[in-house]
Amino acid sequence: MALDRFGRNIHYLRISLTDHCNLRCIYCMPEDQTFRPNASLLQDGEILLLARLFASLGFDKIRLTGGEPTVRANIVEIVRGIASTPGIRSLSMTTNGVMLKRLAQPLKDAGLQRVNVSIDTLDPEKFRRLTRWGKIDDVWNGILAAEEVGLVPVKLNAVVVKGYNEDDVIDLAALTIDRPWQMRYIEMMPFAGVTDIQTQQIVTASQIQQKIESEFGPLEATGKYDGEARIFRIHGGKGELGFISSVTVPFCSACTRARLTADGVLRMCLLREKEIDLLTPLRAGATLEDLRALILEAVWNKPWGHGLDEGVIPLNRAMNQIGG
């Protein structure tokens, strides 16, 4: 068990497989974003070695992120290797869904258990405007493929941006009436690269909920959380709605996660700049005990929470360079 100084059991690791992406979402990165060369990223064997090391320290839940994880070479074999790691009980992925139609079955066969798919609008023109390059049909077909092969429960993520898709939350919510999906609304968070959009065009979780209730009436509170999401239902709906209020109502006291970036840096808070380099010592010949000590020290010093209410914005990395 890896405990921090506040007594939280840190057991959830998000591994970013790449900073590369096949979309250019406006709230994530500039359109002309440059990416790290592959040689500077964790290689397949290094990912699996670190996954085993974290598992030996009590980390039992892993989510694969990016960038876009499905553009990573050998993604199916990486999933297979992590899924077979002793101690890992939960393995999921956050994806934009573009390549899921082709990859859903191989990923499921390799041991992936479920996916979260990003979908900020159902309107084809708005979707292209938000993602700059994307086609909504590719994502929709990926979602259906994931459900068909058993990557369930299907969870959908929407980042809501003022002036782009705040009215689309109603159509997205309606998906949960007849489908057993969970639609999750995420407050936009500020990072380097596109900070002006992130700080000036935020729509709060409370505002999103009010807009949905203006269409469907009062939502039914389930009284439960799913990770960081407060869960509600539309009356009579088969699915769920989740509200993730990282900015306005942070959930830091219950945070049990760490993030491993694609270039091998351990980040104990998404919204704090402090990082611990694991890749450099690994390639320099550090022993597993050396790496274990670095990880445990990082866990122990995990901050209590972010500093957004104090005006502290992390500027050393864009979102795609951290992992969602």
Q: Categorize the per-residue pLDDT at 227 as very low, low, confident or very high, splitting at 50, 70 and 90.
A: confident
Give the pLDDT confidence score for residue 314 in this predicted structure. Answer: 53
Which helix (H) or strand (E) element contains residue 75?
helix 75-83
- Place 117 in a pLDDT band, splitting at 50, 70 and 90: very high
The whole-number pLDDT of residue 196 equals 45
Domains, the chain, in order of start with CATH, read 12-321 (3.20.20.70)
**Cα separation, 320 vs 324, whole angstroms:** 7
Cβ-Cβ contacts under 8 Å for 20 (sequence gap 6 or more):
35, 66, 67, 68, 71, 72
Q: What average pLDDT does the structure give for the chain?
A: 89
CB atoms within 10 A of CB 301: 12
| 176 vs 222: CA distance, rounded Å | 15
Q: How confident is the model at residue 318 (pLDDT cuts 50, 70, 90)?
A: low
Confidence at 297, pLDDT banded by 50, 70, 90: very high
32: pLDDT strictly greater than 80: no
Assigned token pair, 120 = 């900020």
| Alpha carbon distance 58, 51 (integer Å) | 11
Of the candidates 51, 152, 155, 45, the one whose C-alpha atom is nearest the C-alpha of residue 108 is: 152
Q: Please tell me whether the peptide bond between 305 and the residue prior to it is cis, using omega within 30 degrees of 0.
A: no
The Cα-based distances of 22 to 7, 99, 111, 250, 318 in angstroms read 39, 10, 24, 30, 16
For position 317, what pLDDT does the model report? 56
